[in-house]
Amino acid sequence: MTEGPPPITDTEHAIAADGLGVRYTLRFSRKKSIQRTLGQWLARDPVEQFWALRDVTFRLVHGESLAVIGPNGAGKSTLLQVLAGIIRPSEGSVDVRGHVSGLLTLGAGFDVELTGRENILLAGAFLGLDDAVTRELSPGIVEYADLGQFIDAPLKTYSSGMRARLGFAIATSVDPDILLLDEVLATGDSTFRAKSKARVLELVRDSKAVVLVTHDMAWVKEYCNRALLLEHGRVVIEGTPDEVVETHRQHTEEEKKRKAAEAKAAGLAPEIAAARR
Amino acid sequence: MSVTSEAPAAFRNAAARPGPLALIAEAWRDVASRRRLVRYLVQAEIKRRGANTFLGNLWWVLDPLLLMLVYVVLVAIIARRPIDDYPLFIFAAILPWKWFTSAVTDATSSIVSQHRLIKQIAFPKVVLPVAAVTAGVVGFGFGMVPLAGIMVLYLDRLSPLILLVPVIAMVQYVFTIGIALLVAAGNVFVRDLGNVMRHVLRLWFYLSPGLYSLSMLDEVSLFRENPVLIALASANPFAILFEAYRSVIYGTLDAGPVMPDWAALGALLAVSLVFVAVATVVFKRLEPTFAKVL
């Protein structure tokens, strides 16, 4: 790289984020047609931009488990995407040491014409696993997904629950150095959900570092030793799970009160006015 | 996972932009390290094409034959002077053209159709259009079966020069990769590209000497009076490719197969390599934004 940020000095870290920022340019946002794009360009509309993340700096050393919490749209998932190498930062830098694995929304990238077994190989190739490793993991995945004869049938014959089971089995079969978890999985039947929660906990225990995005505060307090609160793309507070969860709770309540007050001002007033008439 | 893996064990992403040569080297490594992914994607594509139809993989053979029939009928009605052994004459163009259109069409949607995956794991997106073009090679290979069938009817035109087809196909492969990279990346930002390409491809075919030969352009007064147009028509990559395929499969209008125009093919290869390099840089520049835009 030509002009990198200042070198990171500590040697222990698994993840180092320095002044991380991710900017979205809305000119090419969702599914626009030539007509709209050209129209905007000709009209010389100023390019709309927004920062999904800004000035995010933190270190995560091996052995730590970090919870990222915050309201919807705070940039939590964007942060995970940057840590997974899916999105490149628009400013600042991120340094990740070790194999990263995220638990995919189950079944993305599956091919419906291929059998379960063939999809395991395809998914392994997408994940960048060595072929020998995938073949070695395959029996375990087949056993865990528990699909019986269906493992050799094309995926189009699967129910959505079966597909989710296969996806989960593949996603959790690799044991990464750094585990990224977005919102704990609520798929499949209740038996499988219990089974999957146990497996996720196992992974959390075995990984050298974990970043967990969740709305479940019990999880944060129970399984994480650090937490980080994101609001509007910025880090509000970083510290022990207890204090961060407490700040989050306060902020959420303030927000609720503010919303209630707004609703009162806007919605309730006419009612009262009507009643008095 | 820690020991053997094709994915990098560590990465450092910053806002810096690498130069063009670094991008080309990176793209090359992407494809080289993910050869197996390309192979699986190609296998899946072939399975998909054969899976949902009654005749399945037989369509690989039937498709070009039926297309040839359509053109033979069409040209028999409108052409004034028949061309000898016309079925073989156009078959030499239909096979490579079918590969090109299916490759470009599949490449156009290759990135967009994997949008869910792209937002969830980091993998080199270059493999998707490359797999689309490579899957077309298999169809082209299957096309040799009906070609052999037709060849039996025109044994006097059979010569060992037909073995040069893979060499010409290689030049076509390089050229197609360049187009595929551009349309795959472009379609992420402008979804109308699929519709546009359908018509561009159709026009391109009629502007290329597939149903006719370049030498026949002299008979058209518009071309006879404007040598510039003839020069332009000859510079069309598919003019060079069609004429080359035809010279080794069919030959000339009044004689058997001859050597292709090596100078033209060599020039096309050189231009295509430069084109692929430019397309790769464009693709790699746009790649980091795919996950944001999709």
Structure tokens at A83: 């840590």
Across the interface, whether the CB atoms of B13 and A82 are under 8 A apart is answered yes
**Is A132's CB within 8 Å of B12's CB?**
no
- pLDDT range class, residue A9, cuts 50, 70, 90: low
From A69's Cα to the closest Cα of chain B, the distance in A is: 19
In this predicted structure, the answer to whether residue A16 has a pLDDT above a threshold of 80 is yes
Question: Cβ separation of B7 and A1 shorter than 8 Å?
Answer: no
Q: What is the pLDDT of residue B282?
A: 95
Specify the range with the lowest mean pLDDT, choosing from A35-44, A87-96, B219-228: A35-44
The pLDDT of residue A161 is 81
DSSP B250: T
Contacts of B34 in chain A (CB under 8 A): 125, 128
Write down the pLDDT at residue A1. Answer: 39
Would you say B24 and A91 are in contact if contact means Cβ atoms under 8 Å apart? no
Q: Is B9 touching A (CB cutoff 8 A)?
A: yes
Which residues of chain B have a CB within 8 Å of the CB of A102?
Answer: 120-121
Mean predicted confidence (pLDDT) in A50-72 = 89
The residue ranges of every structural domain in chain B are 33-293
CATH code at A13-98+208-265: 3.40.50.300
Q: What is the pLDDT of residue A3?
A: 44
Cα gap B240→B233, rounded to integer Å:
9
- What's the average model confidence in pLDDT over A123-135? 87
pLDDT score recorded for residue B1 = 40
CB-closest option in A28, A86, A132 to B189: A28
pTM of the model: 0.85
* CB contact residues (below 8 A), chain B span 36-65, against chain A: 36-37, 40-41, 43-44, 47-48, 51
pLDDT at B94: 93
C-alpha to C-alpha distance for B12 and B112, rounded to whole angstroms:
26
Residue A226, pLDDT > 50, answer yes
Best mean pLDDT range from A179-188, A254-263, B100-109 = B100-109
Residue A102 to residue B120, Cβ atoms within 8 A: yes
CB contact under 8 A, A81 and B291: yes
A105-176+186-206: CATH architecture = 3-Layer(aba) Sandwich (3.40)
Q: Does B126 touch chain A (CB under 8 A)?
A: no
Q: Which residue in B5, B19, B44 is closest to A114 by CB distance?
A: B44
Tokens 């927000």 sit at which residue? Answer: A255
Q: Which residues of B253-291 are buried (b: 16+ CB within 10 A; e: fewer)?
A: eeeebeebeeebbeebbebbeebbbebbbbbbebbbbbb
Burial of B292 (0-12, 13-18, 19+ CB in 10 A): buried
Cβ contacts of A113 on chain B, cutoff 8 Å: 44, 47-48, 51
pLDDT tens over chain B, length 294 residues:
443 466 666 777 776 778 899 999 999 998 998 999 999 999 888 888 776 666 777 888 888 899 999 988 888 887 766 788 888 999 999 999 999 999 999 999 999 999 888 888 889 999 999 999 999 998 898 888 999 999 999 988 889 999 999 999 999 999 999 999 999 999 998 888 999 999 999 999 999 998 888 888 888 888 888 888 888 888 999 999 999 999 999 988 888 888 999 999 999 999 999 999 999 999 999 998 898 887
Please give the helix or strand (H or E) that residue B290 lies within, else none. Answer: helix B262-293
Report, as an integer, the average pLDDT of A167-196. 75
Could you give the percent of chain A with pLDDT greater than 90?
A: 17
pLDDT, greater one: A53 or A42: A53
| Residue B273 or residue A209, greater confidence | B273
In this prediction, residue B3 carries a pLDDT of: 39
What ipTM score was computed for the predicted complex, to two decimals?
0.81
Contact B64, B91 (CB under 8 A): yes
pLDDT of the residue at B88:
92
Tokens of A111: 């091919």
* Per-residue model confidence (pLDDT) at position B168: 96
Indicate the length of chain A as a whole number.
277
Please state the rounded mean pLDDT for residues A197-202: 79
Inter-chain CB proximity B5 and A97 less than 8 Å: no
What are all long-range contacts of B16-24, with beta carbons under 8 Å and residues at least 24 apart? B16/A1, B16/A2, B16/A3, B16/A4, B17/B285, B18/A1, B18/A2, B19/A2, B20/B281, B23/B280, B23/B281, B23/B284, B23/B285, B24/B277, B24/B280, B24/B281, B24/B284
What is the mean predicted confidence (pLDDT) over A210-225? 84
Residue A55's pLDDT is: 92
A187 alpha-carbon distance from chain centroid = 16
Q: Which residue has the higher pLDDT, A108 or B27?
A: B27
Q: Alpha-carbon distance B230 to B223, whole Å?
A: 6
* Residues in A touching B15 (Cβ below 8 Å): 21, 88-93
Parse chain A into domains and list their residue ranges. 13-98+208-265, 105-176+186-206
Cα B103 from Cα B176, distance rounded (Å): 8
Cβ B268 vs Cβ B276: under 8 Å = no
Report whether B183 contacts B103 (CB < 8 A): no
DSSP secondary structure string, A39-87?
HHHHTTPPPPEEEEEEEEEEEEETT-EEEEE-STTSSHHHHHHHHTTSS
What residues of chain B lie within 8 A of the CB of A3, using their CB? Answer: 16
Task: Give the number of C-alpha atoms closer than 13 A to the C-alpha of residue A75, restricted to the C-beta side.
Answer: 26
Which residue from B250, B271, B234, B214 is spatially nearest to B94, judged by alpha carbons? B250
Q: For A93, which of B13, B48, B191 is closest by C-beta distance? A: B13
Q: Judge whether A13-98+208-265 and A105-176+186-206 match in fold.
A: yes
Q: Burial letters for A150-166: b for 16+ Cβ neighbours within 10 Å, e otherwise? A: bbeebbeebeeebbbbb
Q: What are phi and psi of B220, to 5 degrees?
A: -90, 130
Closest approach of chain B CAs to the CA of A23, in angstroms?
Answer: 9
Summarize the confidence of residues A205-213 as an average pLDDT.
83
Closest by Cβ to A130, choosing from B5, B43, B119:
B5
Partner-chain contact A127 B7, CB within 8 Å = yes
Looking at the partner chain, which of B3, B117, B189 has a beta carbon nearest the beta carbon of A126?
A: B117
Task: Tell which B residues from 95 to 114 touch A, by Cβ distance under 8 Å.
Answer: 114
The partner residue sitting opposite B12, judged by closest CB among A33, A93, A113, is A93
**Cross-strand pairs, A94:** A17, B13
Tell me how far apart the alpha carbons of residues B283 and B128 are, in angstroms, rounded to a whole number: 12
CB contact under 8 A, B15 and A89: yes
Q: Which amino acid is at B82?
A: P
pLDDT above 50: residue A4 = no
